[in-house]
Each structure stands twice: as structure tokens, then as C-alpha cells.
Amino acid sequence: MRVLSGIQPTGRFHWGNYFGAIRQYIDLQGKREDAFYFIANLHALTTVRNRDQLAANTVDAALDLLALGLDPEQATLFVQSDVPEVSELCWLLMTGAPLGLLERCHAYKDKKARGLTADAGLFSYPVLMAADILMYDSDIVPVGEDQVQHIEVCRDLAAAFNHAFGEIFVLPKAKILDTSARVPGIDGEKMSKSYNNTLEVFEEPKALRKKIMRIVTDSRPLEQPKDPESDHLFLLYSLFADDAQRDEMAATYRRGGFGYGQVKKALADLAESYFAEARQRRRDLEGDPARVREILGDGAARARKKAAEVLRRAQSACGVKF
């Protein structure tokens, strides 16, 4: 069994990225025969149009993933563009991709509905994603609910290719990530870079603490009891707290007689402690850029070995190699 997933380097990873996806990717490594994780810089080109920013984001993504626990001995980490075979496979799939199928994909539809310009990159994004998955004979693809449609598109494209040219591609299955731990931003809405409401994993502690102290709360009196389950500050606290800490804080909410500043300070303390070891690992990695390049280079070599095998299979099947 092979698990594969990619993450876009569109900015520094925040708590939503970590608890919603990255932590679960790391938990999967070593539990399958293979785990392939890539930094999706080709996908990021649909939104990041600055050369230096994209390059820096890609390096930051590698540092962050390694610091957070991705182990190159248990998983293959590489940069998407270091495997050029994926672009050729994308074209082979594109030649048989129905326009109607791509027009129904939500990312394209949503952008058009908002009156924004949708370029060919966004329109064909699901085909490149399909190539990413099929390139490595992936069995399992961990995704959030909003990405399930893209796995279905991948399966449709693979099945159509197989029907035309023989059983070439493995049809992958989606593994729905556990998003039960909702991660609100500092304004109470879903944490997202597009909302400018994020708390970054590796933000400097003082700057992070200032952001936490600015988290929006209601104006209920200190003495009034409050429901912890409906409070986004408590939800953030719960991400880091153990069961005893969570129960104690919930009891404080229900009892009343506390200020939100008390909760914010406790949240900042827990978050700083939770990521302390990862922060030190990241500093160590920053001081050894040759090691990071080596890890990405080794990962790309392993990925290209498998990619070449799958691409040759597809090329021979459809007649562009003979």
C-alpha cells in the first residue's frame, strides 16, 4: 500500500494546516509500505506569481515538515517540480479529460462565481493533481472533505485511460482526514491565509503571543458562566490541552468568574510548549541547508525512479513510445 499527499507552499503553515492535515500525514508514515509526500510548487503557481516568494516558500515548507516530524527514513519527501515526468503524464491525461468534468470542479466554479478571472492552470488543476497521484501507483490519498471531488476526478481520468489503453493505472482511494478538531482563526472564522486570520506554527513566540491576545471574544461579564463548546477560544485551547487541562478549563467556563485574558495566556503557554521541540529542530535544520537539499534530492531520486516506470507504462500503452 502506498500513501501519497501534497501540500502547497503558498505561505507559512498555520495551526489549521498542522491539526487539519500535517499531523495526520506524519502519523501515517511508517504504517504503510510507502509514504510519498511532496511540496506542490507547480500547483502553487496558480496563486503565487513571485519567483523569490515561491522559492522561499518551498524551502520553508521543507523545513517545517521535517521539523514537525516527517522522517525521511520512513517517508519520501520531494518537491513536485523535481519530478518532470508528472508534467508529461498530466498532458497524457489532459488529452482525454472531458471539459464538462473540469467545469464542474468546485475550485474553478467558485472562482468564476465570485467574478474572478480563472486561468487555464486553475481549470486544469485537477488533471495535474490526478497525475501527481497516478504517477506513483498511489493506493491511498489523505484529503479533507473539500478535496474528495478531485480524487473522484482522478479515478474517472484513470478509468477512462485504462478503458482506452489497458489496465495501466491503479485507481486510488481517498482517506478522509479527521477534521473534527475545527481550527478557528483569531476572528472566530475558519483559519485560512485567505482570511488573514492565521496563527503560524513557527511564528516567533512574542509575536504569536501578541496575536493570541488579540483573538476576538465576546463582551459578556466576567462573572457570567459560559458554554465552552461554543467558544472558539476554548476550541483553540483544546487543540493543545490534555484531557485533564481541557476538563479543568471547561469547568472554569461553566463556573464563570474568569477573564478571557486568562484563557489566552494559558493558550499561548501551551502552544509555545507544544511546538518547542519542533522549533529547535527547525533551527538546527536552518543551520544545515546541505542536509535539507540532500533529503529533497534523495526524495526526488526515489520519486523519479517510480515515476519513470509509470510514465513509460502509460507512454507505451497509448503509443507515444514504441
Residues tagged active-site: 111, 190, 193
> In this structure, what C-alpha cell is assigned to residue 85?
515526468
Where do runs of H (alpha helix) occur along 166-229?
205-213
19: cell is 491539526
Q: Which residues of 43-53 are buried (b: 16+ CB within 10 A; e: fewer)?
A: bbebebeeeee
HSE-CB of 79 using CA atoms within 13 angstroms: 22
- Give one word for 217, left, alpha or beta, with left for phi > 0 and alpha for psi -120 to 50: beta
Helices (H), 135-204: 148-165
Q: Which three cell numbers stand for residue 183?
A: 481550527
Look at residue 149 and give its three-state secondary structure.
Answer: helix
